[in-house]
Amino acid sequence: MIRFLAIALALLSAPPASAQAGDIGGAMHRLAAIWRPIAAGANQEAVRRACTGALDELAAVDAELPAELSPQNLARVRPPNGLIVIPLGAEPTGAFFFPPAALPWFASGLGAVSVVDEAQGRLSVRDAGGAEIGLQLGALGSTPALRVSSAGGEAQTFVGCAPTLAP
């Protein structure tokens, strides 16, 4: 993952910072993970099953990243199950988003995050295709959870399985 971030920072320009409300740094740190789909209200056994193989999926996506990290090449990166979020260190609102094929309305690549309602955990992402995607951070028991919603009302719940940033 370090290889990916170093090359990406050198080759891609970050999107401009958007107006922020709340703690974007904290939100980005919470978002930095591989998220796997799960049914809303699931128990800890369902969380364990959802996260099985998440680290392997993360490693496979890292190994399959194209040599040329252009927006067009990054747009083709789609993990089979998880949503991978890798924040940019130099740009506090920027992150790479790699959504699964189950979220066809969420474009892979560089996106910009803004805090909508810090108390509710609500964020907005302008994805690589320019679409606004709604995010809501929460928890299923002690496990981080993320609700991802399209502008058209489609939504999916994910659980945080492994961080993509060092603590």
The tens digit of pLDDT for each residue in 106-165 reads 999 999 999 999 899 999 999 999 999 999 999 988 899 999 999 888 899 999 999 998
pLDDT in tens, 66-122: 888 899 999 999 999 999 999 988 788 999 999 999 999 999 999 999 999 989 999
> Residue 27: inside a domain, yes or no?
yes
CA distance 73 to 151: 25
> Residue 112: inside a domain, yes or no?
yes
> Residue 167: inside a domain, yes or no?
no
Q: Which domain holds residue 42?
A: 2-9+18-162
> Residue 40: inside a domain, yes or no?
yes
CA within 13 Å, CB half, 58:
22
Number of domains in the chain: 1
> Residue 128: inside a domain, yes or no?
yes
> Residue 46: inside a domain, yes or no?
yes
What is the C-alpha end-to-end distance of the chain, expressed in Å?
15
